[in-house]
Amino acid sequence: MRRSPTARLLLLGGALLATVAIQAAEPQRGTFSGAAETVYPAWFKASFLDFEEDIATAAAAGRRYLLFVHQAGCPYCNRMVEVNLAQKDIEETMRKHLDVIELNMWGDREVVTVDGQSFTEKNFARALNVQFTPTLIFFDEQGKVALRLNGYIPPAEFRVALDYVTQHKEMELSYRDYVAQRAPVTAAKRLNSAPFLAAPPYDLAAVHTAGKPLAVFFEQTDCPNCDTLHHDVLGAALTRDELAAFHAIQLDMWSDPPAVTPDGQATTARDWARELSIAYAPTIVLWAADGREVIRSEAWFKTFHTASILAYVSDGSYRDQPSFQRYISERAEKFQEQGVDVDLWR
């Protein structure tokens, strides 16, 4: 049956309207930004990733062995290289005292550990429970870990870590106690306040029995990184939305307010921070509703990563996805599918 020109126009118009309606129902894919590729310094050592041989070679030259675990597109790895390692005193200290070897946490090169076990890079990173990049692992001359840094820390704090390792201070005291010796002493400035922080008394065993996940912010006074966390990161809507699921408290890691831990132990903020080996301010330690510590943020993170660390616990994803890096990649993909822009560096 032949349709009149008017009928064909009506059909065409209906099809166009249907197409527009479908396009309107499907949000435009969100953008992705903030990733950064990194060119690692030429003075990093080439290696077959045989740790026993590498550590022995470094020790014979009077240096220590540093494993720099990274991944493609990591903006924090980029910042470590282009901000920290670009500073003359840091570069000179590292080149004099350390053999630095890079390892791709998703790579397939063979790794042979000090005790002779063989892994691929990605399986080795999984065995070490690497959740953040860069992860820096400093080894002593016997192949034992002298210090591990999980994530990026700014130059001032990084210099303290370098001094601790290159001066062999781990033989005398813990990293936390060394940081305490180097921390500025001040009583004039208070901790940052925030409306989501619960007031004392801090009976976290009661919180645990109430079935709510817990976020403990270990901070200190005179702390620029704590200021950045509160003013820039925790002020963002994305982070505030995730914090709503938590019972959150704030403790001065160097002072003595009383607290009851999730497992019912009476302690003080200082003693609990020491027990947990808290050395960087701010550190956020997250417990699931069942009282299990799941993950901690003990480095310098921006909004998307901080909010994702919180969501990893609050939405229960840690139960099925042991890799936080895979979780955050999947989360970014879901946001984009929903038309939400993702900026890793906001």
Alpha helices in the chain (DSSP H): 5-25, 51-60, 75-79, 88-97, 121-127, 155-166, 175-182, 204-209, 224-228, 237-243, 269-275, 303-314, 324-337
Q: In CATH, what is the architecture of 51-182? A: 3-Layer(aba) Sandwich (3.40)
**Residue 66 pairs with which residues in a beta bridge?**
100, 138
Residue 30 identity (one-letter amino acid): G
Integer-rounded Cα Rg, in Å, for the chain is: 24
Domain limits, the chain: 51-182, 202-343
pLDDT bin (cut points 50, 70, 90) of residue 30 is very high
CB 216 within 8 A of CB 249: yes
Q: What is the pLDDT of residue 211?
A: 82
Q: What is the pLDDT of residue 9?
A: 43
Closest to 250 measured CA to CA, from 233, 272, 224: 272
Q: Give yes or no for a cis peptide into 282 (omega within 30° of 0).
A: yes
Residue 63 in tokens = 């240096």
User: What mean pLDDT is predicted for residues 317-340?
Assistant: 97
CATH homologous superfamily of 202-343 equals Glutaredoxin (3.40.30.10)
pLDDT digits (tens, 9 = 90+) for 224-275: 999 999 999 999 999 999 999 999 999 999 999 999 999 999 999 999 999 9
User: What mean pLDDT is predicted for residues 310-314?
Assistant: 97
pTM of the model: 0.90
pLDDT digits (tens, 9 = 90+) for 265-287: 999 999 999 999 999 999 999 99
**HSE-CB of 123 using CA atoms within 13 angstroms:** 10
Three-state DSSP class for 316? coil
Q: Is the pLDDT assigned to residue 110 strictly greater than 90?
A: yes
As a whole number, the mean pLDDT across the chain is 92
